[in-house]
Structure 1
Amino acid sequence: MDPHLLRTFVTVARTGSFSAAAAHLGYTQSAISQQIAALETDLGLPLLHRRPVTPTEAGTRLLEHAEPLLLRLRAARADVLRTAALPAHRLTLAASPLALNTRLAHRLARARAAQPRLEVTVRTCSRDEVSGQVAVGEAEIGLADGIAAPSDPLRLPDAGPITTTGVSEEELLVALPADHPLAGRVGLRLADLVDARWLQTTLCPVRRLRDLAGDGFRVALDYTGDDVHTVLNLVAAGHGLTLLPASVLPPSSVSASAVTSAFPASAGRGVPLSAPRLVHRVELLHGALPDGPAARLAADLSG
């Protein structure tokens, strides 16, 4: 299958319009129609319903393969070009919402102090987007965070030849309203919370909890953003529970007057997750880095 035809198919399927795909890709609408027809002829199957423009069953299956294939092709191109890239002092660091924690922010500060000419742009995106941006060369370095067993790697999408290194692990807390009946507990087991109401967030997907502890974990509210202040406000107002790293909110064992967290105690309290043994893990991602500022920054962030 021609990658150019695949890219056109993915764009039409995602935009739901031949004209929108034409505008996005810089072709005429008739050229888009011809490319889709050529792909359908190659496979011998219709891939798109025309009115409205939606994938057929075969088209849906092809979409599942096409996007990872196109990503791998872009990653291969970026990986080859890195071998000839000149050292640059302007770098992009892609980071998922809770990846750049206090410890890593201080490491970044020390790295910049050691390289005064270094200019770093920090770009926040989803965990899966971090690996994709690193793979295709849109970011030289990435930091991805997620929930994992101690020392276990994160489940990141296969985006090509990327080096991953664990750079941070910290305790997970169950985030509760300050007046919640369980807020005074020393620890909580995830299995005991399957019937609780949970927030569905990009920071803590409910499907991940189900993978770890079985069915249950009702979604009380779906929050599609990545702002931790908003998540804490939703928790404090009783919209649902979630899991957050210990550095984000004060533990319930600390009195309100002694809290030194960046967030007030009224924004919610945290009870340590006692079982299963899980941590908030951050991994450093990068492709092949020639000796230079990017390689030194990666080494500094590693520890």
Structure 2
Amino acid sequence: MDPHLLATFVAVARHGSFSAAATELGYTQSAISQQIAALEADLGLPLLRRRPVEPTPAGARLLEHAAPLLLRLRAARADVLRAAARPRHRLRLAATPLSTGPVLARRLAGVRARRPRLEVALHTCGLDQVTAMVAEGEADVGLVDGIAAPSDPLRLPDAGPMTTARVSEEDLAVALPVDHPLAGRAALRLAGLVDARWVRSPLCPLARLRDLMGDPAGDGFPTGLEHTGDDVHTVLALVAAGHGLTLLPASALTPLVAGVPLAAPRLVHRVELLHGTLPPGTADLVKDLSG
């Protein structure tokens, strides 16, 4: 299967338009049609309905495979280029919103103090994008976070060979409105909160909580409000206003909400550093950041 044809198929399916895909990829609409026809001929199946433009069942199945396949190809190219790169005085970091806490800030300050010429660029985004940026060479190092059992590694998307290292682990707390009946408790159990309303956000994915409670397909932890952003202050404001609870590292809480330690199950907020093949001169920087 030609990866160029696969990338064209993904673009057409994403836009729902041959002409829009042609504009994005720099081809004529006729060339896009020919590439899709070639891919369909290779597989012997129709992949797109034409009016409206949308995937067939076979096309939808192919889309499930397309993104990780194309990512692995881009990652392989980036890995080869990194291995042959020249040393430079620039560090590109991609990080999830809750991974860049005080521990990292102190370590990064130490790195820069020892290397005054070092330029640092930090880009904040979601876990999937951090992983993709590192795999594709757009970032030298990634920092990701999530909820895990103590010392357990985080679950990361498959983006090819990648090295991970623990940066920190921190206790979790349930964030509630200050006048919530449970706000005065010394600790809370997650099992006692499965019927409470929660703020669903990338900072606290409810599917992960259901998985941890052994009920991945259940209806526990109902959504009181869904927030698609990654700003912790917005999430805390929603909790304070009574839209639902959330689970965050204790250091992320503010006086806006009440924070009650999570007693059971034993879970932590884990931060990991990840990288592929490092450019020359970058390995010692990574060692300093991971502690």
- Residue matched to 1:41: 41
CA distance in 1, matches of 2:143, 2:247: 19
- Residue matched to 1:119: 119
| 1:59 maps to 2:59 | yes
- Residue matched to 1:158: 158
- For residues 225-244 of structure 1, what are the structure 2 equivalents within 5 Å? 225-244=229-248
Amino acid at match of 1:117: R
For structure 2, the residue ranges without an aligned partner over 5 or more in a row are none
Amino acid at match of 1:278: L
- For residues 1-303 of structure 1, what are the structure 2 equivalents within 5 Å? 1-213=1-213, 214=215, 215=218, 216-249=220-253, 263=254, 265=255, 267-292=256-281, 294-303=282-291
Matched position secondary structure for 1:247: helix
Matched position secondary structure for 2:251: coil
CA distance in 2, matches of 1:6, 1:198: 39
The alpha-carbon deviation at position 268 of structure 1 amounts to 0.7
Q: TM-score, normalised by structure 1?
A: 0.93
CA distance in 2, matches of 1:225, 1:290: 32
CA contact (8 A) 2:198 2:225 kept: yes
Amino acid at match of 1:287: G
Q: Deviations over 1:122-165 (max 9, x none)?
A: 00111111111101100000000001110000000110111011
Q: TM-score, normalised by structure 2?
A: 0.97
- The more displaced of 205-214 and 114-123 is 205-214
CA contact (8 A) 2:85 2:280 kept: no
CA distance in 1, matches of 2:78, 2:47: 30
CA distance in 1, matches of 2:48, 2:88: 44
CA distance in 1, matches of 2:51, 2:206: 35
After TM superposition, what 4+ stretches of structure 1 lie above 2 angstroms from structure 2? none
Amino acid at match of 1:227: D
Amino acid at match of 2:158: D
CA distance in 2, matches of 1:270, 1:55: 46
The alpha-carbon deviation at position 290 of structure 1 amounts to 4.3
For structure 1, the residue ranges without an aligned partner over 5 or more in a row are 250-262
Matched position secondary structure for 2:252: coil
| CA RMSD, Structure 1 to Structure 2 (Å) | 0.9
**% same residue:** 74
Matched position secondary structure for 1:283: strand
